[in-house]
Structure 1
Amino acid sequence: MHKTVKSFIVISIITLIAACSTKVERHNFPDLTYTHLQRVDLDVAAIEVLQAYQPPLQHPNIEHETPISMLGTTATWAKDVFKSVGHSGTAKIIISEASIIEEPLSNNASITSTFTTEQSEKYISQLTVEIRIEDAFGGSASSNATVSRSITVPEDISLTDRERVWFDLIEDTVNDMNLKIRDGISKYLKDYLR
């Protein structure tokens, strides 16, 4: 009997250790690229992409938890889309905001809420990009754009599905930026387009 108790304790400890060491499986998502988009040829000798945004790494910001980085993805977009085709001058593409905020939603406390799946969190992305051009003759021009999106998720969402929501939110936000910044470029940077 004493031996049975010892065996039970040993098995319990092994089970507990195994449970503690089990890792949450995370889904691998591809890095996004933008070489398929129409290029923007700038009449400058060099282009710098500056990732000026500093993620706070704490809630309500959750961009450090997403399967891909919105800041890094925006930098990839800038490098894939903008090309220098001139002999002088510089263009700086500055990413000053690339945040995703998690906002908890109030749940309905009524009896009917027991039988329904409610939305529990809202995710809000915000992306701000500025393009500054300085030419060799002292001339300069700039254009900036800010885009934002939001989406809610249900209370019973799995980690994999939540990560898919974040991935899609980042992809959609960067695609919105691509469209909006091109509009500004055609208005404010047209003298520097080739």
Structure 2
Amino acid sequence: MKNKAAFAVLAAAAFLVACTTEPPAPSGPKPITFEASEPIRIPVAFIAVDAYFTPPGRAPNIEHLHKITPESVARSWAQARLVATGGPGTASLAILDGSVVSEELEKKGGLTGVFGDQQDVKLKARLKARLTVERPGAQGGGATWTAEVDAYADRTVLESASLNERDEAYGKLMQSLAAEFDRSLTAEIQRSMGPALR
């Protein structure tokens, strides 16, 4: 009897500890950085970042529900990659679109629909931006160079995905969008803005 009583006390204590111990908080999406890429040096006085996209704040858009957005990706990119080295003129990165849309996918019927783990939604992200460099001329004229890109990424999510798994899918979507934006805009700057960088 004493052994049973002692066991009951220990079990109750273990239960109380389990109830008071909070589950570990989800780590959240990994931060997106561009520090590993070589800076793009522009001989201007300063570089501005302006957002011209206003999230609608309702379905099917979901960017407003997350800390990391296409706009924050563009701002992080500009902060890490663009460096003003001084000189006449200005540079600006205009964020023209920074949307993320959740699109419901059509489900299959029959046994596949009943027993299969189907694709639930497709997340589609877009980041459109234009970099402009303006320099004044000697006699009131001037020169302007632009580099514009429209980057896309998408990812599908299964019906069975938990909330954490859906957040993880969104984080990976932002990583893919950031990589595509970085690659595309860097290539366009090198292609069309050579004189502006000298």
Length-normalised TM-score, structure 2:
0.81
Matching of residue 159 in structure 1 with residue 182 in structure 2 = no
* Structure 1 portions without partners, runs of 5+: 1-24
Letter paired with 2:99: S
Q: Contact 2:97–2:127 (CA<8 Å) still a contact in 1?
A: yes
Q: Contact 1:29–1:67 (CA<8 Å) still a contact in 2?
A: no
1: distance between equivalents of 2:31 and 2:112?
42
Q: Contact 1:49–1:79 (CA<8 Å) still a contact in 2?
A: no
2: distance between equivalents of 1:154 and 1:51?
33
Q: Secondary structure at the match of 1:135?
A: strand
* Structure 2 portions without partners, runs of 5+: 1-24
The alpha-carbon deviation at position 175 of structure 1 amounts to 1.2
Q: Contact 1:28–1:67 (CA<8 Å) still a contact in 2?
A: no
Q: Secondary structure at the match of 1:161?
A: helix
Letter paired with 1:51: A
> Match for residue 95 of structure 2?
95
Letter paired with 1:114: V
- Percent identity between the two aligned chains: 24
Cα RMSD over matched residues?
Answer: 1.4
Q: Secondary structure at the match of 2:189?
A: helix
> Match for residue 147 of structure 1?
151
1: distance between equivalents of 2:145 and 2:126?
24
Matching of residue 81 in structure 1 with residue 81 in structure 2 = yes
Residue from 184, 190, 196 that aligns with 1:192: 196
Distance 1:49 1:67, change over 3 A: closer
1: distance between equivalents of 2:94 and 2:48?
8
Q: Contact 1:124–1:150 (CA<8 Å) still a contact in 2?
A: yes
Q: Secondary structure at the match of 2:160?
A: coil
Letter paired with 1:77: W
> Match for residue 175 of structure 2?
171
> Match for residue 187 of structure 2?
183
> Match for residue 31 of structure 1?
31
Length-normalised TM-score, structure 1:
0.83
2: distance between equivalents of 1:142 and 1:70?
20
Q: Contact 1:67–1:163 (CA<8 Å) still a contact in 2?
A: no
Letter paired with 1:57: G
Q: Secondary structure at the match of 2:63?
A: coil
1:79-99 alpha-carbon deviations (Å, 9 max, x no partner) = 110001131100010111111
